[in-house]
Amino acid sequence: MPARSRPSRPPPRCRDDVTLPAIEVRLGRAQARRGDTAVAASHLDAAIGALDQQNAASGPVNGPLLAEALVERAAVAQRAHELGPEIWKLVAW
């Protein structure tokens, strides 16, 4: 009796334009936890750029993810001492 072969399933489809920014945010968070602020900043900048392109092309689609990426990027900038005195001009006390 021949062995029954399982029907092959196609690989799961994913939309790269949606998943890539989320992956970049996660990588940025992981690098920030490790203390590598330069690599974390590059991942978060890539996520922010991709999300900006998506929002420009099809409207505000990933608002919460963009907000998360911006908050993480600000935290990385603060940890890396990238925020100079000019940032305090933006804060109205």
Q: Quick count: other Cβ atoms within 10 Å of Cβ 80?
A: 15
Q: What is the mean pLDDT of residues 52-59?
A: 84
Task: Provide the whole-model pTM.
Answer: 0.71
For the segment 52-69, the average pLDDT, to the nearest whole number, is 85
Contact 13, 1 (CB under 8 A): no
Give the C-alpha separation, 16 to 4, whole Å. 35
What is the pLDDT at residue 93?
A: 46
Instruction: Express each pLDDT in 14-27 by its tens digit.
Output: 555 558 999 999 99
The dihedral region occupied by 13, where left means phi > 0, alpha psi between -120 and 50, and beta the remainder, is: beta
